[in-house]
Amino acid sequence: MRILVINPVGHSTWDKQDEEICKNFASSETEVKVVSLPRGPASVETPEAHAEVIPLVLDVARRNHEGFDAVVVNCFLDPGVDLLKGVLSKPVVGPCEASLSLATIAGTRVSIITVGGADGDWMIEERIKQLGLGDKVTSVRGIPVRVLDIDKDRAAVVNNLVREAEKAKKEEKADVIVLGCTGLAGLAEDVQRRTGVFTIDPTGAAIKVAEALIKLKITGFPYRR
């Protein structure tokens, strides 16, 4: 199996790191390639950035998907994912939809912990509504760090995630935590170990769902047939 992962940002800073993270989640027979956009915002944290990257994601996917069995758009807001499902005859997976799908199997009360400010929370809440999962998500919480600053002190980021997860567990009886930013990929295991609450990695969820769809031969968008 071959999976194309698109980082919807206008730089390749995270490509190598994300490729290693994806490979750690992928099965041994799966090949993963990560590409970024030729131009675009440094991160997708505002409505303006989200709108800007959607046509760019579609263009990169169209130009690079040949030879791959599935496409993952590596941003928790799933930019362009729904549109690509109507364009490509292969699985197209977004981290938000994949994470929440798995979360509803693992538990019944889901809390999403993301980064940044109110823009990110609002856009995630809109995506939850689009997916029809508003009754499953008890809260969207944030930690005081921007996407571009996550790698500056990942230990501090984990501490912040643990603090919010503990609050969600106590205040909302959350039994599943979803990390609401792909920049947090690789941190779910630490959060789960320290809180005792199932914690889902968005990038890992997207890779495993893509593999499952390929294995099950569930490809393409059914309404196109």
Give me the percent of the chain exceeding a pLDDT of 70: 96
Residues 6+ apart with CB under 8 A from 212: none
pLDDT score for 142 = 93
Segments making up each domain of the chain, as ranges = 2-94+205-224, 96-202
**Model pTM score:** 0.94
Give the residue from 100, 141, 116 showing the smallest Cα distance to 46.
Answer: 116
154-198: pLDDT as tens digits: 999 999 999 999 999 999 999 999 999 999 999 999 999 999 999
6-41: pLDDT as tens digits: 999 999 999 999 999 999 999 999 999 999 999 999
- Alpha-carbon span 164 to 223, nearest angstrom: 40
Give me the architecture of the 2-94+205-224 domain, per CATH. 3-Layer(aba) Sandwich (3.40)
DSSP H helical ranges for the chain: 15-25, 47-64, 81-85, 95-106, 118-131, 154-172, 188-195, 202-215
Q: How confident is the model at residue 218 (pLDDT cuts 50, 70, 90)?
A: confident
Same CATH fold assignment for domains 2-94+205-224 and 96-202: yes
Question: What is the CATH number assigned to the segment(s) 96-202?
Answer: 3.40.50.12500
118: left (phi over 0), alpha (psi -120 to 50) or beta: alpha
pLDDT score for 120 = 61
